[in-house]
Amino acid sequence: MARLKVAVLFGGRSNEHDISRISAVHVIESIPKDKYDVVTVGITKKGHWFRFNGDTGLIASGEWEKHPDNVPCILSPDPIHKGFIVFERDGEAVSLKVDCVFPVLHGRNGEDGTVQGLLELAGMPYVGCDLISSAMCMDKDTTHTILEANGISTAKWVRILRSELDDKLSEKCDIMERELTYPMFVKPCNCGSSVGISKVTDRDELEAGIKQAFVYDKKVIVEEGIAGREMECAVMGNLEPFASDIGEILPANDFYDYDAKYNDAGSMTVIPAKISDADREAIRTVAVKAYKALGCGGLSRVDFFLKEDGTVILNEINTMPGHTGISMYPMLMENIGISCEEQEDRLIKLALDRAGVDYE
């Protein structure tokens, strides 16, 4: 049987563009080459799409953008094309048909349902959560609301809109101080990799943190700080998902911010986490429950706080978790015996299953 053709999208118009490139290299190198032919499409920070034919090693550094063989391309929303339209240097527009798209895009304009919507218009099978679940999980305010409605514990939170910044900031901060306790965490609603998040311990820091968060989003939430160990669980599947074992994050910084995640060698991960069997099963159970409640499919990483008394608090769900060399999702799956190659194979097959495509 002919190998299926998988297009890997990377980069994107997001403040997580650089992490996307690194994740994409891991995915490209892990996709089994005896089963799939891989084509790569890069999206610049300005949103320009290019068919990239160069060496995978150029992607992580960003040097791919300078490759002389790059040609513009677009994902056609018309299902008749079954993929991309590539604009060759001679001016000819040619069809690049693919069987599945793997959108290795983090953050806005990639993990928030935008690209997923385009892929659904195009009738293309794609890896990961669908439009609705991607959008709901990306918006922290919406995630909180849905999880609370399903009986899943999260940190107490208060939202504030950009339209309230000028004339209602003081009033909103009064509400936060009345309903929450310091320390608090100020978060843009639609950013990942801890971008724009600040830990605040008094009123001045709270107001400054909110103003800073609005640099990244039009809606901000402020959460009550949770004293607990940081746990992560990888989930995979469509209608019958399964959870990995649990990993623990030991951040080098005061909290697991962007620098602690990607730049500070002092941050550590412990897999499996040194917790009781009861705590382990409690986290895994909540991870799957939340995954289903939010309609996730394919994969997600679910992050938790485990309090000293055993209470499990869900922090957030990442619908396209990092796949870098230090990323928890692939490491957690490897820990339960699923190699990186098998992970990508399973994820592609889950995408095809959801689309009703017979790949046998």
**For 139-170, what is each residue's pLDDT tens digit?**
999 999 999 999 999 999 999 999 999 999 99
Read off the pTM: 0.92
- What is the rounded distance in angstroms from the CA atom of residue 232 to the CA atom of residue 303? 4
Q: What is the mean pLDDT of residues 119-140?
A: 97
Residues 67-115: tens digit of each pLDDT? 999 999 999 999 999 999 999 998 899 999 999 999 999 998 999 999 9
- What's the pLDDT at 251? 81
Domains defined along the chain, listed by start: 4-127 (3.40.50.20), 156-224 (3.30.1490.20), 227-319 (3.30.470.20)
How far is the C-alpha of 247 from the C-alpha of 230, rounded, in Å? Answer: 8
Burial class from Cβ neighbours inside 10 Å (0-12, 13-18, 19+) for residue 234 reads buried
Q: Count Cα atoms within 13 angstroms, Cβ side, for 276.
A: 10
> Do 141 and 186 meet the contact criterion of CB atoms below 8 Å apart?
no
Predicted confidence (pLDDT) at residue 196 exceeds the cutoff of 90: no
**8 Å CB contact between 88 and 2:** no
Q: How many CB atoms lie within 10 A of CB 264?
A: 13
CB 243 within 8 A of CB 307: no
